[in-house]
Amino acid sequence: MRTFTMVAIIAVPLFAGSFAALPAQAEPQMLGVVQTASAVPLHCADGNCTAELSSICLHEQRATPTSGYPYTAFNADAIKVTGTRADGSRVFLNAADVLRFTASRGFHTVRVDVPETVREAQGLVSLAVMVEQPLTLIPGKSATDEDNPLTEADIELGAGPMRATATAIVDRNSDTMHAGQILARMIDFLPRHGRAETDARAGLWETAAVSHVPSYSRTGVHKARTAYNRCYRLTRIGDKNLRGCLAEAHDGLVLDLNEKYWDAVKAGS
């Protein structure tokens, strides 16, 4: 039997209690986390340092994960965790020891968390992650995952040939995925609830995107800038906020490539 490394997931108690009251259901989709072209800074608040990473669904026929659903990494060595101290020195942390993954917006993004206690214990002023190789996530178990569980063969197929197909179609489409990654960096910078301050909205591109631009394709940067300009105009007044508009733009980019991947898998089956 093949063995593999998984990142330990700590389920939030709220979800544990909620799952117990629900009927049995199948495990949701395995996810592929897209390789990042630059290091992704984690934003620390309320006890966690977190960021959103672009992801895709590897199993179209399985259920979409609910927000907050826990995941484990099939290949934790694909993602690098770097901490920086006040003197500028860097510390490399073991991803399998410190990272937690949960679904964020369906299969389009995953949230990666490092407990702030880790940052404090290591004397770090900042944390960042970088997905250096195609990363595959496996859904964590819940009290209701009794129907149609993922088998070891399912996992091997999803993390092997299916992830390889996704890599060729999604990860290597630099123009689209670079645009999505820039949008994700801006989304991370904005408040999760309510509207951002006027100055934060107006300066978002310079604050959250410009430092990453040299790592991305020119077309990807143009797509991201166009989406930001559009969302900025659409959300200057009214109830819709900038974070929500950018999230829709990001998820649309991911979905387009995910559908191409699904079509390729069907054609090869």
Measuring CA to CA, which residue among 77, 255, 71, 269 is closest to residue 165? 269
* pLDDT for residue 5: 38
Q: What is the mean pLDDT of residues 134-151?
A: 80
Domain boundary pick from 116, 150, 184: 150
Domain boundary pick from 150, 182, 200: 150
Residue 72 lies in a domain: yes
pLDDT class for 14, splitting at 50, 70, 90?
very low
Residue 155 lies in a domain: no
- Same domain for 128 and 21? yes
Average pLDDT value over all residues in the chain: 89
pTM as predicted: 0.86
* pLDDT for residue 21: 40
pLDDT class for 149, splitting at 50, 70, 90?
confident
* pLDDT for residue 148: 78
- Same domain for 194 and 245? yes
Residue 6 lies in a domain: no
pLDDT class for 95, splitting at 50, 70, 90?
very high
- Domain housing 128: 13-150
Residue 156 lies in a domain: no
Residue 123 lies in a domain: yes
* pLDDT for residue 269: 62
Per-residue pLDDT at 8 exceeds 60: no
Q: Are 188 and 243 in contact (CB under 8 A)?
A: no
* pLDDT for residue 239: 77
Q: What is the mean pLDDT of residues 40-68?
A: 95
Domain count, the chain: 2
- Same domain for 132 and 190? no
- Same domain for 104 and 213? no
228 compared with 11, residue with greater pLDDT: 228
pLDDT in tens, 197-215: 989 999 999 999 999 889 9
Q: Which residue has the tokens 């829709």?
A: 248
Of the listed ranges 2-6, 48-52, 73-77, the one predicted with least confidence: 2-6
- Same domain for 98 and 203? no
